[in-house]
Structure 1
Amino acid sequence: MKFVLEVDMAHMHGKEEAVAELGRVLRYWGGNLRHYALEEGDAAEVYDSDYREIGSWRVTAA
């Protein structure tokens, strides 16, 4: 299986915002993954600090 995280950085302004938002995404979802079985088909949307959808993660077949 694969864990795939996709984040659209198009709306982020500069390196500083990108670093801050990506760090937030990784911290939040890293801590939240314990609530999922992490089986093929599991997925969720990813939101930025303004609660805009900026991506998703999913578990797929390899």
Structure 2
Amino acid sequence: MKFVLEVEVDAGRPAEETAGELGRILRYWGGNLNHYALKPGDGSAVYDSRYQEVGRWRIVEADGS
């Protein structure tokens, strides 16, 4: 399986906040992964600290590489 995370953290945010916001997103969603079976097809929207959707994570079949 492959875990794919796509997040846009710079939209409307000062550059100095980007690293902190991405760190928060990774901690929050990493902590929630135990609520999923982690099989292909699983996934969820990712929200920033303003509760705006900024991306998604998903589990896909590995491509063999």
Tell me if both proteins adopt one fold, taking TM over 0.5 as the criterion: yes
- State the partner residue of 1:40: 40
Structure 1 runs of 4+ with >4 Å offset: none
| Contact map agreement 2:6 2:57 (CA 8 A) in 1 | yes
* Aligned sequence identity (%): 61
Residues in 2 aligned to 1:4 and 1:61: alpha-carbon distance in whole angstroms: 10
Count of matched residue pairs: 61
Secondary structure at the aligned position of 1:40 is classed as: coil
Deviation string, structure 1 residues 13-54 (Cα, Å, up to 9, x no partner): 20x211111001110011100000000000100000000000
Structure 2 segments unaligned to the other structure (5+ residues): none
Residues in 1 aligned to 2:31 and 2:40: alpha-carbon distance in whole angstroms: 19
Secondary structure at the aligned position of 2:25 is classed as: helix
Q: Please report the TM-score for the alignment, with normalisation by the length of structure 1.
A: 0.91
| Contact map agreement 2:10 2:18 (CA 8 A) in 1 | no
Larger Rg: 2
Secondary structure at the aligned position of 1:38 is classed as: coil
Q: Please report the TM-score for the alignment, with normalisation by the length of structure 2.
A: 0.87
Residues in 2 aligned to 1:49 and 1:10: alpha-carbon distance in whole angstroms: 13
Residues in 2 aligned to 1:10 and 1:55: alpha-carbon distance in whole angstroms: 12
User: Which amino acid in structure 1 is aligned with residue 55 of structure 2?
Assistant: G
